[in-house]
Amino acid sequence: MNIFRSLLAAATAVTLLASPSLAEEPIKIGDINHYKRMAAFADPYRKGIELAMSQVNAKGGVLGRPMEFIFRDDQGDPGEAVKIAEELMTRDGAVMFTGAILSNVGIALSSFAKEKNYLYLAGEPLADTLVWQSGNANTFRLRVSTWVQAAMLAEAAAKTDAKTYAAIAPNYSYGTSAVEAFKTVLKQLKPDVEFVGEQWPALFKIDAAAEVQALERVKPDAIFNVTFGTDLAKFVREGTDRGLFDGRPVYSMLTGEPEYLEPLGEESPEDWIVTGYPWYDLPDGPGKTFVTDYEAFTGETPKMGSLVGYTMALSVAAAIEKAGATDTASLIKAFEGLKVPETPVGELEYRALDHQSTFGAWIGKLALKDGQGVMVDWSYKNPVAYMPSDDEIKAMRPAN
């Protein structure tokens, strides 16, 4: 633990001990995540939560009590995640649970929350079904869905002359829904486009050489990429070596996020259109203030996980304050239509319609700067304009 974090942690502990208003038992929230399997995202995510907790508790906590997160590792396994959720709620005294990165884990936790009448706030799982086709009264989500990010990329793709596309995505719910969304929106915007190939590598088991060869054989005008993490690194290296990206636009989910972009270093592909998080280029305002606070707290630069964890913890605190209680029914009622005014991306709302927050997304182009990939020509987009209509969402969501 670095000196900045140690000093702030010590100061927070002193505040908690000295403040009569925080002498009561803490309000516990259980967080379940893939801390070992996906440490590049999950470690900054945890640090973001810890920063938010320190700030909330320094101001008096929630309902006059300190807020405490209990962190548990599910190893990326849906069954293990459900088992941990039950322990957190029945043994550890958590009032709700949060977390997950992988969509299949998030979907399992959502189903469990509905079955047991617990409250689940998903920070990162992006599969559309989480709040739409499989949505339920007990599940809310912070990050913008796969559909929205794919729609933003499809909008950019529709402005080019490309007519044929190929896609590559991990073969699980997040990847399949991303490709379906990109295809649907792009065909709406440009009905004459054609998809000439799709590759579905198993998550984190990509045979990059074979995938690149398969994509090259169909000779698409452009490529839609959904790989991330180590799969992305292998795909970029092999595709660059074999010239797959030469003269071909690439539209890529999440690639501009520091967790996935920084490891690429000098191999970062230029001119890809990506969604991401350009923390290094934010103007003065709440986003830049968060970056400064996070760097002081951790001694590290922020990642997307940092932002997600921080904003999620602020959302939990705001919901508990609004509810004035910690029982599930009160918290669900508080989250429906909840507005969180002071987050790094401005005011957020958890829509009563589908329990999806209005956390947006950054989209821009990749460039190399000082041997590192960065996002340039970026913009932050409100997600609502890219969502299906209210009537379409109502038709998708099952009756609770």
Query: Over the stretch 88-103, which tens digit does the pLDDT of each residue have?
Result: 999 999 999 999 999 9
Q: Given pLDDT bands bounded at 50, 70 and 90, which one contains residue 14?
A: very low
Asked if residues 45 and 33 have their Cβ atoms less than 8 Å apart, the reply is yes
Q: What Cα–Cα distance (Å) separates residue 2 from each residue in 9, 11, 219? A: 11, 14, 50
Provide the token pair at 219. Answer: 């000779």
Provide the mean pLDDT of the chain: 93
Provide the token pair at 365. Answer: 């182009």
pLDDT digits (tens, 9 = 90+) for 120-165: 999 999 989 999 999 999 999 999 989 999 999 999 999 999 999 9
Other beta carbons within 10 angstroms of residue 195's beta carbon come to 17
Dist CA 364 CA 274 (whole Å): 6
Q: Given pLDDT bands bounded at 50, 70 and 90, which one contains residue 23?
A: low
Q: Given pLDDT bands bounded at 50, 70 and 90, which one contains residue 111?
A: very high
Q: Given pLDDT bands bounded at 50, 70 and 90, which one contains residue 321?
A: very high
pTM, rounded to two decimals: 0.91
Provide the token pair at 278. Answer: 């350009």
Classify residue 45 as left (phi > 0), alpha (psi -120 to 50) or beta. alpha
Q: What Cα–Cα distance (Å) separates residue 100 from each residue in 155, 174, 199? A: 29, 13, 25
For tokens 């849906």, name the residue.
78
Q: Which CATH number fits domain 3-145+282-349: 3.10.129.10, 1.10.357.10, 3.40.50.2300, 3.40.50.150?
A: 3.40.50.2300
Provide the token pair at 339. Answer: 């507005």
- Which ranges in the chain are annotated with CATH 3.40.50.2300? 3-145+282-349, 147-280+361-396
First-to-last alpha carbon distance for the chain, in angstroms, is 45
Q: Indicate the length of the chain as a whole number.
A: 400
Dist CA 329 CA 129 (whole Å): 23
Listed residue (160, 107, 151, 114) closest to 129, CA to CA:
107
CATH superfamily of 147-280+361-396: Response regulator (3.40.50.2300)
Average pLDDT over residues 72-89: 97
